[in-house]
C-alpha cells in the first residue's frame, strides 16, 4: 500500500453490496465527512496531495471503486450507476447520512449521478477532469471525427479480447495514457507513483473491470448523453467544476451553458494543467474546494 508522507492514513475494508471495498481515511474521526472518488486508471492514492490539507478540517474518506486498487473486481456491470450504488451503500455501512463529495474522472461522473439520484446524501460537490452531463452536443462529420479522435483510447480499452490484453500485458500503454494527458508528467509523477497505478492492472480480474468500465460507457452511457438523457434533470447541489486548459478529452469550451440544469455549478478552468488535476494542480483545487465546502449546502430532497 503506498504511503502519504506526513499524513496518518488509515486503511480498512467494508462489505458493500457483497463487494469487499477498500477505504483509505484520514482526519479526526468526529470531523464532518468528505468522500473523494478517484477515476481510471487510479485508486485512492490519486488524492494523496489533497488528503493532508483537507483532513485538517474534514474526515477524508477515499474508497477504491469496484475493480480498482484494493477493492474487489467482480464480473458484472460497471455502469456508473452501479458505482454510485456502491457509494451509497458504503455511506450506509459507515453510518453517514450526508457528506461533502469530490470526484475525478469516472469518480466525477459517478458524483454527478449521486447528486441527481441522492440529493439528500450530498451537500456539496467538487468535480475535476470530467464533463458535466449537459455538455453542448456538436453535430456534423467534422464534429464526429473530432469526437472519435478524442475517444480512440477508450475504444481500444473497450474492445473484446484486445482491450484486456493491452491493459494487462502492456504496462507502457497505461504509462503513455497518463503521461500524454499531463502538461508536465515528470513533475506530476515519480516512477514509483506511476507504478502504484500500473501494477494493479496485471491482475486479470482488474483488467476485465477496466474493459467493462469503458465498454459500458461507449455502449450505454455515451448514447444516453448524446440523446439528451439528462436534459430534464436539475442538479441543485452546490458544485465547483475544475477543467484543465490542456485536458485532451474534457474541453473547457464545452462546459458552459448548463445554467438551467445545474444552477449552482461554477466552472474553474485550471491553467498549465491537463487531465490529472488532483496531482497536476492540487494547489489550484484546494482553495476553491475549501470555499465550496464551507458555504451553504443544498437543501436535499
pLDDT of residue 238: 98
Q: What confidence score (pLDDT) does residue 145 get?
A: 47
Q: Is residue 80 part of a domain?
A: yes
CB within 8 A of 93, min separation 6: which ones?
14, 15, 16
In a domain, 4, yes or no: no
CATH number of the domain encompassing residue 92: 3.40.50.1820
Reference 125, options 239, 37, 23; nearest CA is 239
> What pLDDT tens digit does each residue of the chain (301 aa) get?
899 999 999 999 999 999 999 999 999 999 999 999 999 999 999 999 999 999 999 999 999 999 999 999 999 999 999 999 999 999 999 999 999 999 999 999 999 999 999 999 999 999 999 999 998 765 444 444 455 566 677 888 888 778 888 888 888 888 999 999 999 999 999 999 999 999 999 999 999 999 999 999 999 999 899 888 999 999 999 999 999 999 998 989 889 889 999 999 999 999 999 999 999 999 999 999 999 999 988 876 5
For residue 300, being part of any structural domain is answered with no
Task: Tell me, yes or no, whether 1 lies in a domain.
Answer: no
Q: Please check whether residue 2 lies inside any domain of the structure.
A: no
- Where does residue 290 rank: exposed (0-12), middle (13-18), buried (19+ CB within 10 A)? middle
Q: Which three cell numbers stand for residue 274?
A: 491537463
Instruction: Tell me if 3 is assigned to some domain.
Output: no
**All 3 cell numbers of residue 13?**
475494508
* pLDDT for residue 141: 46
Helix 80-94 with 106-117: angle, nearest 10 deg = 70
Predicted local distance difference test score (pLDDT) of residue 144: 43
Asked if 47 contacts 66 with a C-beta cutoff of 8 angstroms, the reply is no
Which pLDDT value is given to residue 149?
A: 60
Helices (H) and strands (E) in the chain, counts: 13, 8
Please give the pLDDT value at position 137: 64
Joined grid coordinates for residue 301: 430532497
Q: CA-to-CA distance for 11 and 1, rounded, in angstroms?
A: 9
- Length of the chain counted residue by residue: 301
Identify the residue whose cell numbers are 503506498: 2
Total domains present in the chain: 1
94: containing domain: 10-294
Domain presence at residue 301: no
- At residue 143, the pLDDT reads 46
- Phi first, then psi: what are they for 240, rounded to 5°? -115, 130
Q: DSSP strand E in the chain: where?
A: 10-16, 19-26, 33-37, 59-63, 99-104, 122-128, 239-244, 265-270
- Residue 79 included in any domain: yes
Amino acid at each position: 500500500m503506498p504511503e502519504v508522507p506526513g499524513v496518518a492514513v488509515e486503511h480498512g475494508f467494508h462489505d458493500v453490496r457483497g463487494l469487499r471495498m477498500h477505504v483509505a481515511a484520514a482526519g479526526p474521526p468526529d470531523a464532518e465527512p468528505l468522500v473523494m472518488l478517484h477515476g481510471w486508471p487510479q485508486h485512492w492514492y490519486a488524492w494523496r496531495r489533497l488528503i493532508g490539507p483537507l483532513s485538517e478540517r474534514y474526515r477524508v474518506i477515499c474508497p477504491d471503486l469496484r475493480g480498482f486498487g484494493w477493492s474487489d473486481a467482480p464480473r458484472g456491470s460497471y455502469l456508473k450507476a452501479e458505482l454510485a450504488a456502491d457509494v451509497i451503500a458504503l455511506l450506509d455501512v459507515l453510518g453517514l447520512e450526508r457528506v461533502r463529495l469530490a470526484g475525478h474522472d469516472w469518480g466525477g461522473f459517478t458524483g454527478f449521478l449521486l447528486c441527481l439520484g441522492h440529493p439528500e446524501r450530498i451537500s456539496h460537490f467538487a468535480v475535476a477532469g470530467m464533463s458535466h452531463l449537459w455538455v453542448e452536443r456538436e453535430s456534423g462529420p467534422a464534429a464526429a471525427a473530432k469526437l472519435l479522435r478524442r475517444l480512440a483510447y477508450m475504444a481500444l480499452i473497450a474492445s473484446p479480447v484486445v482491450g484486456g490484453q493491452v491493459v494487462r500485458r502492456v504496462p507502457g500503454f497505461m504509462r503513455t495514457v497518463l503521461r500524454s494527458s499531463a502538461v508536465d508528467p515528470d513533475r506530476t509523477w515519480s516512477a514509483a507513483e506511476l507504478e502504484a497505478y500500473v501494477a494493479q492492472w496485471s491482475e486479470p480480474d482488474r483488467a476485465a473491470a477496466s474493459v467493462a468500465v469503458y465498454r459500458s460507457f461507449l455502449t450505454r452511457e455515451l448514447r444516453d448523453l448524446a440523446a439528451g438523457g439528462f436534459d430534464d434533470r436539475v442538479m441543485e447541489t452546490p458544485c465547483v467544476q475544475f477543467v484543465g486548459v490542456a485536458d485532451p478529452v474534457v474541453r473547457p469550451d464545452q462546459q458552459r451553458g448548463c445554467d438551467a440544469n445545474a444552477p449552482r455549478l461554477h466552472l474553474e478552468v485550471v491553467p498549465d494543467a491537463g487531465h490529472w488535476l488532483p496531482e497536476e494542480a492540487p494547489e489550484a483545487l484546494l482553495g476553491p474546494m475549501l470555499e465550496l465546502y464551507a458555504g451553504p449546502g443544498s437543501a436535499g430532497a
